[in-house]
Structure 1
């Protein structure tokens, strides 16, 4: 990592206990950077189990983890407003205990809580946007405005997102993938006939249209003994379970997130991504590392910057359910195409290696004035 000397670096995010892509990125960056720097992760929330905070990803003993408040049920409007103020105060007080050289706020929602404290500190303040710029809920709009006003540097994940910001503060760094050169990755023909879809069970991930696609494939008899495994947790779980039953969708299961997610990739032959919006999908590059081709809707940003169309997977016009069904049906009955794409995916993934990505982060931090 290209830093001239050891630094004190803080990664700040809203909820480290949530098993999502942002959390995985933060942990991977923190673990790697802690080899050469003092790293602290500060999370607004923590999920407490048996009296201890519980996190979905393995965090190095070299990394210090601090949380501000316990995760709890929602209260009334006044309580929520008080809690918002307390989070800002807690962060401002917490960072006074540490002489951070850099505060890296991961996610536009986290910028809302971190910006005041970061500005009051003497640290260099870097904000990272993990969602597509075309996705504009209120929290994202506020976070982006604060980032432009108060940060020293803004990091986005795709070239298209960078073009939308229209600011010299903005640079592009992709998400990293951890590399284990000793891992055994078998050819697709040795794996079970599993198709996977991984992500938070929320509307933006498009799981309803995924189930509609899968039902069409199975009902036509084109699934060739493949099964669909949806891996994730979130507020739509009960709705998705009921949707499967109501529509008599066969050969599909939904499983909770697992820490051993690498085993899921190692036993899969194909990944499906049906999101309405994507940032820089960790799921896509992790799948590439394990030689899993992908079919994804070509939304504004994300998949098109990772998938090499017809080489490592397929991009389908967003919303074209019929085309998605046709491609999926065809590829499930074409083992040679899957093997070809699997091989190419393994070749293309090297630019996302954790060491390469962290070198870029080092260059950014060294260049912040």
Structure 2
């Protein structure tokens, strides 16, 4: 029996974010199971940041950024042509905004269509395309996959009349069988993500500015790159914060997780928060804003980390101080609870859920 041809439609696989990481994970896992995997980028994407199975075919619609509004019809026709020429059986939109193109592109074709939401329904980033894409996905896709039960509820409440089945498949951890015992004596606080408004590193810097002098032998590492770098560096200089580093984007994130003692997530919003799964894989205690959506489905408050009401900087500061001040026995207890919670995010469990719908 012929294995299905599965196509992931994505913005640009060259990026190094959580969306690109989890797409690579699922695509690789399906390729290993014998499925024929295609990844179609809207723009560029022919030099993926994360390692792809060499059996996966990668293509792009446009070699550089173009106006999608001006190229709407052309993009639709290109996707349709690609799907037909490659006998695609299932097409997965990696981000609900892409349904604006893929829904009309697949009209009349016998191709299973899945919309994979990577933000949450309450976040549209001011994009009318994303709002339209979600409506189209709910009416015309076979499935809409959300990353959390909370977001599934948002979709169901917002769009009462729909043909798509809304289901939750949480992201898998990107790591298998990591052997790491965090050391409090490393005195390193880690945060990972793009240097953008969404990730809230401006908030984390305000918190660290208030407490760093009380912990002069501790340091904060914010690993990632983005358009907010200059603003963050200006804040650091203005407030004379010395025990902090912004090393930029890296292919060797493993070394940063291994030297960390505590992990922080300061995001204003998330789809799930892949970095939380990464941090748990390394056994790190976490303090995180309880933003929409994701942290509350990963962190068990006061067991393997602390959840803080969104944007409550003062409480975040208190919880971070609490983690820093843990006794060795308390710290070890947090690590043990983190490892236990992590098991439910295994790649094997998550891939089996995908196999049921593709």
Query: 31, 36, 44: which is aligned to 1:38?
Result: 36
1:129-187 C-alpha deviation (Å, 9 max, x unpaired) = 11122213323312211101220111001111111212561000000113433x43134
Alignment correspondent of 1:326: 318
C-alpha distance in structure 1 between counterparts of 2:280 and 2:6, whole Å: 30
SS in 1 for 2:325: coil
C-alpha distance in structure 2 between counterparts of 1:118 and 1:338, whole Å: 52
Query: Does the aligned pair in 2 maintain the 1:224–1:332 contact within 8 Å?
Result: no
Query: 154, 170, 175: which is aligned to 1:174?
Result: 170
Alignment correspondent of 2:122: 134
**Shift in CA distance, 301/180, structure 1 to aligned 2, threshold 3 Å:** closer
Query: 286, 310, 328: which is aligned to 2:302?
Result: 310
How far 1:5 moved relative to its partner?
Answer: 6.5
Q: What TM-score do the two structures reach when normalised by structure 2?
A: 0.91
Query: Does the aligned pair in 1 maintain the 2:182–2:259 contact within 8 Å?
Result: no
How far 1:120 moved relative to its partner?
Answer: 4.3
Alignment correspondent of 2:333: 340
How far 1:194 moved relative to its partner?
Answer: 1.8
Query: 167, 174, 186: which is aligned to 2:181?
Result: 186
The reply to whether residue 14 of structure 1 matches residue 11 of structure 2 is yes
Alignment correspondent of 2:48: 55
How far 1:364 moved relative to its partner?
Answer: 2.3
Alignment correspondent of 1:97: 85
Alignment correspondent of 1:211: 205
1:204-233 C-alpha deviation (Å, 9 max, x unpaired) = 2111111000111113x1x26221111112
Matches within 5 A, 1:51-90: 53-72=46-65, 81-90=69-78
**Shift in CA distance, 80/281, structure 1 to aligned 2, threshold 3 Å:** closer
Query: 258, 261, 270: which is aligned to 1:266?
Result: 258
C-alpha distance in structure 2 between counterparts of 1:296 and 1:161, whole Å: 18
Stretches of structure 2 that go unaligned for 5 or more consecutive residues are: 157-161
Query: Does the aligned pair in 2 maintain the 1:12–1:103 contact within 8 Å?
Result: yes
Query: Does the aligned pair in 1 maintain the 2:191–2:223 contact within 8 Å?
Result: yes
**What do you get for the CA RMSD once the two structures are aligned?**
1.9
SS in 2 for 1:195: strand
Alignment correspondent of 2:146: 156
How far 1:317 moved relative to its partner?
Answer: 1.4
1:33-54 C-alpha deviation (Å, 9 max, x unpaired) = 101211111111116xxxxx32
Alignment correspondent of 2:159: none
- Range that drifts further, 283-292 or 139-148: 139-148
How far 1:327 moved relative to its partner?
Answer: 1.6
The reply to whether residue 232 of structure 1 matches residue 203 of structure 2 is no
Alignment correspondent of 1:50: none
C-alpha distance in structure 2 between counterparts of 1:116 and 1:56, whole Å: 30
C-alpha distance in structure 2 between counterparts of 1:196 and 1:81, whole Å: 39
C-alpha distance in structure 2 between counterparts of 1:46 and 1:123, whole Å: 25
Query: Does the aligned pair in 1 maintain the 2:146–2:167 contact within 8 Å?
Result: yes
SS in 1 for 2:356: helix
Stretches of structure 1 that go unaligned for 5 or more consecutive residues are: 48-52
C-alpha distance in structure 2 between counterparts of 1:300 and 1:178, whole Å: 22
SS in 1 for 2:203: helix
C-alpha distance in structure 2 between counterparts of 1:55 and 1:104, whole Å: 18
Query: Does the aligned pair in 1 maintain the 2:219–2:244 contact within 8 Å?
Result: yes
**Shift in CA distance, 186/13, structure 1 to aligned 2, threshold 3 Å:** same
Query: Does the aligned pair in 2 maintain the 1:129–1:157 contact within 8 Å?
Result: yes
How far 1:261 moved relative to its partner?
Answer: 1.6
Query: Does the aligned pair in 2 maintain the 1:132–1:302 contact within 8 Å?
Result: no
C-alpha distance in structure 1 between counterparts of 2:175 and 2:318, whole Å: 34
**Shift in CA distance, 339/69, structure 1 to aligned 2, threshold 3 Å:** same
